[in-house]
Structure 1
Amino acid sequence: MMDAAHELARRLARQAEAVCRHYLSAGRRQGHYWQVGDVRNTPGRSMFVRLRNSAKGPAGKWTDAATGEHGDLLDVIREARGLSHFTDVVAEAEMFLRLPSTSQSKEALHRRTQCSSRDPVISARRLFAAAQPIPGTIVETYLRNRGITALHDSGSLRFHQRCYYRPDAHGLIQPLPAMIAGVTDLRGRIMGIHRTWLAPDGAGKAAIATPRRAMGYLLGHAVRFGGTDDVMAAGEGIETTLSVRTALPNLPMAAALSAAHLAAIAFPPGLRRLYIVRDSDPAGDKARDSLIARANAAGLEAIVLSPALGDFNEDLQTLGVDALLAGLRCQLAPEDVSRFMMLSR
Structure 2
Amino acid sequence: MRSRPNASELARLLADHITRLAPELLPHGKKDSSEWRVGSLAGEPGQSLAVRLSGARRGVWADFSSGERGDALDLVAGCLFGGDRKQAMAWGSNWLGLSKTTNAALIQRRPIQEKLNNSQELDKEAQQRRAKARRLWMDTSAGIAGTPVEAYLAGRGIDLRALGRAPGALRFHPAVWCAEVRKPLPAMLAAICGPTGKLVAVHRTWLAQSPSGTWAKADLQNAKKVLGGFSGGCIRLWRGVSGKALDLAPAGDVAIVAEGIETALSCAIACPEYRVLAAVSLSNMAAMKLPDTLTEIIVAADNDTGNASARKALDAALSQFAQQGRTVRLAMPEIQGQDWNNVLTYHDKDTGPERS
The structure 2 residue matched to 1:48, chosen from 65, 68, 78, is 78
Q: Secondary structure at the match of 2:333?
A: coil
Q: Residues 48, 250 of structure 1: CA spacing in aligned structure 2 closer, same or farther, 3 A cutoff?
A: same
Question: 3-state DSSP class of the match of 1:280?
Answer: coil
Answering whether residue 176 of structure 2 is matched by residue 163 of structure 1, we say: yes
Unpaired stretches in structure 2, ≥5 consecutive residues: 1-20, 30-35, 41-48, 54-58, 81-90, 96-101, 240-244
SS in 2 for 1:16: helix
| Structure 1 unaligned regions, length at least 5 | 1-12, 63-70, 76-89, 91-108, 332-345
Taking structure 1 as the reference length, what is the TM-score of the superposition?
0.68
Name which of 109, 113, 125 aligns with 1:60.
109
The residue identity in structure 1 corresponding to 2:110 is K
Task: Report deviation, 1:330.
Answer: 2.6
- CA drift of 1:271 comes to 1.3
How big is each residue's C-alpha offset from its partner over 1:249-292, in whole Å with a ceiling of 9 and x where there is no partner?
Answer: 13111111111112322222311111111110035533332122
Aligned: 1:189 with 2:198: yes
- 1:220 lines up with 2:250 in the alignment: no
Report the equivalent of 2:330: 304
Identity %: 27
SS of 2:69's partner is coil
SS of the counterpart of 2:330?
strand
The more displaced of 285-294 and 133-142 is: 285-294
Deviation at 1:60, TM superposition (A): 3.5
Contact 1:36 1:42 in 2 (8 A): no
User: Which amino acid is the alignment partner of residue 351 of structure 2?
Assistant: A
CA gap 1:210/1:49 in 2 versus in 1, 3 angstroms: same
Matched with 1:318 is 346
Secondary structure of 1:72's counterpart equals helix
Provide the alpha-carbon RMSD of the alignment. 3.3
| Residue of structure 2 equivalent to 1:206 | 218
Deviation per CA, 1:282-309: give whole Å up to 9, x if none: 3553333212211221111001122233
Aligned letter for 1:244? C
Q: How far is the alpha carbon of 1:317 from its aligned partner?
A: 1.3
CA distance in 2, matches of 1:39, 1:327: 26
Equivalent-residue separation in structure 1 for 2:68 and 2:182 (angstroms): 20
Distance (Å, rounded) in 2 between the aligned partners of 1:289 and 1:140:
33
Give me the whole-angstrom Cα distance separating, in 1, the residues matched to 2:139 and 2:63.
Answer: 22
Amino acid in structure 1 at the alignment position of 2:278? A
Deviations 1:144-173 (A, max 9, x none): 111112353511111110111121xxxx52
Q: Which residue of 2 aligns with 1:260?
A: 283
Pairing 1:149–2:149 present:
no
Q: Which amino acid aligns with 2:328?
A: A
Tell me how far 1:231 sits from its aligned partner: 1.3
SS class of match (2:174):
strand
| Structure 1 residues 260-339: aligned runs within 5 Å | 260-281=283-304, 282=307, 283-309=309-335, 310-319=338-347, 322=348, 324-331=349-356
1:278–1:284 Cα contact (<8 Å) kept: no
2:25 is aligned with what amino acid? E
8 Å CA contact 1:279, 1:307 repeated in 2: yes
Query: Could you state the TM-score of these two structures normalised by the residue count of structure 2?
Result: 0.66
Report the alpha carbon displacement of residue 48 of structure 1 after superposing the two structures with TM. 1.8
